[in-house]
Amino acid sequence: MKDLHTLTYLNKKISLPIIHNLQMDIIIEENPFHLPLEDFFKMAARINKKRAFLFVSKLLGKHLPIEPNKGLLTGFMLAVRYEEIITGAISPQREEIMAIYRDSASQFLDKPFISSAQANPIIIGFAETATGLGHSFFRAFKQATFFHTTRDNVNELVPIITFEEEHSHATSHRCYVEEDTLDNLREIILVDDELTTGKTAINIIRDIHQKYPRDKYTVVSILDWRSKKWQLEMESLEQELQIKVQVVSLLKGSFELIGVPLNLVSQTEITETNRKKPQLEYISLENYVKERIVPITSTSLAGIRNDYGYLKDTGRFGIHMGELTDDWIRLAANDLKKKRVGTTLCIGTGEFMYIPMKLASYMGENIFYQSTTRSPIYPNNEEHYGAKNAFCFSNPEDLDIVHYLYNIDAKQYDDIFLFFERKVSEDRLAELLAELTAVQVKKINIVYCSGR
């Protein structure tokens, strides 16, 4: 059933306040699931000279906490829309998926529904924000291959694809997969959380096509804000390379930033030294995943080597449908659930988003999920704003990289589960844990998959 409220703002200018005299004017052109606009995002100001604003997603589980199944379901909603575009018909899954969405995604089970006769794509999620979204989208296909780009410097492998993301604060993307993953004619689907210009997609399509040409690409994102100019850029790419590029989104429109961007300086919470420190517990999941560890190491920007292997199930090095199993995730989540002491926040770290979100989805009720991020957002404690507070710390996995957490209020949660793909030493966690004392939880569980 169509929500009449969502139809009233189609093709009409909507003004959204950001901060001070800065506002965003948007026009919505397509909203295929008729979702209320407030379901999608909040606005915030970015501390970035290249882009002064951010659409802070309420569906990703990155900057804002969400119910974990809501994040998993978002990938399936995009898959439903993809199926409708390629078939030209309403997806048989639409009604069920939307019923689950309206029920807060509490009973969602991600069973694949797109048949191999319809599609057998290679799905690529963009680091860091869309690694979880790309993975959940991939889970809707009965036959597909998935990997995500990474900003890690891997020691044993040479990336077969690299590309730049000009507007980003961390621009270099690397793809560490076997050559035969891309050396074929299968459709490539690129998954990102938002298209503003589409330049990132254009960059990677150019790089892939130069080495591994094919006829068809698809770009999938929650939001598609490309102006006519940038839509023409994509059409020009199609003509130049003699390819077809289709775009799939949950919300399509255009925007205009009104006002002069401010010269904002980072502000973060100041942790008081007299806060009561929470109980800490260090938990290894290696017994559940020891057969699923990839013996590949990395070196940080500071030149520090990490000899703990990566987890195969993230898809960083490529994973095929049929190689997946949720058995260990369910078992591990059941044990983690026993360690909960109340309302829980599960925190993924950087690119490590999907597995923590999936674990959280099996850990019971009153549980929320979000992730650390590289994105510097100016905090502002107003209801409409997307980052009410901010915590800044050195990334425990690479102390030369600054990470942030947003929107965690004091005494909002009873406990926190902090997930890492690979073990990090306790001294490297000190800065992050000191910041988290300000949220006054009873217990913090540090959970890692690889290493003891």
Could you read off the pLDDT of 32-84 as tens digits, one per residue? Answer: 999 999 999 999 999 877 788 999 999 999 999 999 999 999 999 999 999 99
Closest-CA residue to 406 (of 65, 115, 93, 70): 65
- ∠ CA 46-370-261 to the nearest 5 degrees? 5
Domain boundaries defined on the chain? 279-450
Q: Which CATH class is domain 279-450?
A: alpha beta
Sign of the C-alpha dihedral, residues 378, 384, 389, 394? negative
* pLDDT at position 51: 83
User: According to the model, what pLDDT value does residue 217 have?
Assistant: 98
Q: In this predicted model, what pLDDT tens digit does every residue of 158-215 receive, in sequence order?
A: 999 887 665 444 458 899 999 999 999 999 999 999 999 999 899 889 989 999 999 9
Which residue ranges of the chain lie beneath pLDDT 70?
1-8, 105-106, 164-171, 265-274, 452
Q: 14-51: b or e for each residue (b if 16 or more CB lie within 10 Å)?
A: eebebbeebbbebebeebbbebebeebbbbbbbbbeee
Q: How crowded is the C-beta side of 28, counted as CA atoms within 13 Å?
A: 23
Which residues neighbour 108 within 8 Å (Cβ) at sequence distance 6 or greater? Answer: 69, 72, 73, 76, 100, 361
The pLDDT value recorded for residue 276 is 83
DSSP three-state, residue 73: helix
* 3-class secondary-structure state, position 168: coil
Which residues, including other chains, have CB under 8 Å from residue 336's CB and lie 6 or more apart? 283, 359, 363, 417, 445, 447
Task: Give the per-residue pLDDT at 168.
Answer: 47
Cα–Cα distance measured from residue 436 to residue 422, given in angstroms and rounded to the nearest whole number:
20
